[in-house]
Amino acid sequence: MDERKPYIDEIKREFPGDVLSEDTSTPGEAYLTIRKESLPRIANFLHEVRYSTPLLSMFGTDERALDGTYKVYTVFQIPRKPVFIILKVHLKEGELEFPSITPLMYAGSPFEREMQDMFGFVPVGNPDTRRMVLHENFPKGIHPLRKDFSYSTTLDKAEGQYPFHTIEGEGMLEIPVGPVHAGIIEPGHFRFSVAGEPIINLEIRLHYKHKGIEKLMETLDFNEGCRVAEMVSGDSAIGHVTAYCQAVEKIAGIETPLLARYNRMIALELERLYNHIADIGSMSTDASFLFGAARAGILREKVMGLNDRLTGSRFLKGLVVPGGVTRDLFTAREDITLTLKEVGEGLKELVAILLSSASFLDRVKTTGVLNKKTAEDLAVTGPPARASGVDSDMRRDVPYEAYGEVKFKVPVYKEGDVFCRLSVRIDEAFESISIIEQVLKKAVRGPIKAEVGARRAVPLPYRYALGCVEGWRGAILYWIMTTPGDKLYRCKIKDPSFCNWPGLSYAVLGNIVPDFPLCNKSFNLSYAGNDL
């Protein structure tokens, strides 16, 4: 029995007449075209009333060339099930208003603001209609993801001022930080409202590095898109390119060889390992425990050096391609095993040192608390979510590649503070080592890339599919729609940072400004992955 059918049938029973059509042509995905007036009610039914499913993504498309309409897609995943429910709403030219889901689930707000900027859609009922992606120097009335806006367009510079939220009252003080920062860091503006020492409000202004990546994707074929995907967020190259390739492979009907899937798992866990170790070091730095930071730096370099020996890239770029991988990491089994053994032993020593330091623990415990309800309302994902009691991990819940064949624990903590976010990373680092060791013990032979004919290698036109990977920051989502030939019609990218940045702004409330760097590092979010 198709796992999607019971959920589709229940939605139809609960909302008779609101579901106009259904499309189950893509495995694991159910696309329900609904009346736009019913979007908030059906979305809330999935999110809170019935299934407690988080909002994974929400995005627009310009499909006027196909049927004369724009579309809004709203993506949910049934918890612990490989089932994605995608609600689809049609918007006619000149009638771009749609009912906002934000009053019922706040996680919808940034997605709706993004569509407002990029397509000109109007989310009626969203209390925040300020610009988000397009800053005030971008001319009004121009929406870059519409098909009649050319990628090569040169625009005149406009002027304007962003209306920040202002907290008023006796003794209130605003502290602006950024967007230009000291050291090597990408641009972001942080505006703190403080009453004495405690932070009362933090407003984060991003998208200073908006690069037009989703528009660029529309000019590429699916192989070129693969190379761009791994550069969306440099420290998440494997996570992004794997999610992209999964979507392409679904559409093209490509069966990735088992050996290739094992290789991808090794790369994904190496990426998780070196980043988690780096974050452990970064949190040590911001707690002024420089010895711990130095030890973490040494361990991270050992993994990065291994990456370079394996693929010629410290970030593992060039390894994952549609249909498989470009080289077999099993040929370096001994090097990987010895390096991981050394890193694992060093990590155990580092953790013992950190957890025996009373001054370090004093800085990280009870600092930057994000409670479970807020994390769920904001659709926070990855380590920050698991540190706040949200038990989710795509590797376990929607097993991709060959994650269903290995054993691993998903660490979940309840307090939601810096210490818990640190603890999740420590636990996951050891689990990554264990997963790689399990994979390396597999006695598997065969091709590392699918052998497909030219016809099957090219995705069918106007087909669409999701690719979803549990990156080291959280769930990475790619939605791809193809055109005739081998071009991309639309590529929607959702980096976990997109939903986690609002989580940081809540976690710092009530803390003092000097603790912000520590809270920030405990989330360690991507500017580049957010500012597409």
What's the pLDDT tens digit per position in 48-87?
988 888 899 999 999 999 999 999 999 999 999 999 999 9
| SS3 state of residue 403 | helix
pLDDT in the model for residue 452: 62
pLDDT in the model for residue 454: 43
pTM (two decimals): 0.96
Give the tens place of pLDDT for each residue, 4-49.
999 999 999 999 999 999 999 999 999 999 999 999 999 999 999 8
Q: Are strands 488-494 and 320-321 parallel, antiparallel or unpaired?
A: unpaired
pLDDT in the model for residue 458: 59
Integer CA distances (angstroms), 163 to 121, 130, 136, 361, 478, in order: 20, 8, 10, 39, 32
Report yes or no: 319 and 263 within 8 Å, Cβ to Cβ.
yes
The 8 Å CB, 24+ separation contacts for 152-161 are 160/136, 161/136
Q: Is the pLDDT of residue 459 over 80?
A: no
In 3D space, the residue among 145, 245, 116 whose CA is nearest the CA of residue 489 turns out to be: 145
Of residues 457 and 386, more confidently modeled: 386
Q: Are strands 488-494 and 475-482 parallel, antiparallel or unpaired?
A: antiparallel
Q: Is the pLDDT of residue 338 over 90?
A: yes
Q: What is the mean pLDDT of residues 358-386?
A: 96
Give the tens place of pLDDT for each residue, 131-163.
999 999 999 999 999 999 998 888 889 998 999
Q: What is the mean pLDDT of residues 240-265?
A: 95
Strand order in the sheet with 199-205: 172-177, 189-195, 199-205
* Mean pLDDT computed over every residue of the chain: 94
Report yes or no: 523 and 507 within 8 Å, Cβ to Cβ.
yes
Q: What is the mean pLDDT of residues 204-219?
A: 94
pLDDT in the model for residue 118: 97
Q: What is the mean pLDDT of residues 104-110?
A: 95
Report yes or no: 519 and 511 within 8 Å, Cβ to Cβ.
yes
pLDDT in the model for residue 326: 96
pLDDT in the model for residue 84: 96
Domains in the chain with CATH codes = 5-124 (3.30.460.80), 222-367+399-408+424-496 (1.10.645.10)
What percent of the chain lies above the pLDDT cut of 70? 98
pLDDT in the model for residue 209: 86
Q: Is the pLDDT of residue 222 over 90?
A: no
Strand partners, 15: none
Please give the angle made by the CA atoms of 216, 220 and 223, to the nearest 5 degrees.
125
pLDDT band at 436 (very low <50, low <70, confident <90, very high): very high
Distance separating alpha carbons of residues 97 and 91, to the nearest angstrom: 8
Report yes or no: 251 and 482 within 8 Å, Cβ to Cβ.
yes
pLDDT in the model for residue 35: 97
Cα 506 to its chain centre, rounded Å, is: 19
CA dihedral 140, 146, 151, 154 (to 10 degrees): -20
Cα 3 to its chain centre, rounded Å, is: 25
pLDDT in the model for residue 175: 94
Distance separating alpha carbons of residues 98 and 380, to the nearest angstrom: 25
Task: Give 161's contacts (C-beta < 8 A, 6+ positions apart).
Answer: 136
In 3D space, the residue among 428, 437, 408 whose CA is nearest the CA of residue 271 turns out to be: 428
Strand partners, 490: 481
Task: Give 266's contacts (C-beta < 8 A, 6+ positions apart).
Answer: 329, 336, 436, 439, 440
- Which amino acid, residue 335? D
Distance separating alpha carbons of residues 30 and 84, to the nearest angstrom: 6
Of residues 458 and 261, more confidently modeled: 261
Strand partners, 305: none
Task: Give 240's contacts (C-beta < 8 A, 6+ positions apart).
Answer: 229, 230, 232, 233, 469, 471, 476, 478, 493, 495, 529
What percent of the chain lies above the pLDDT cut of 90? 88
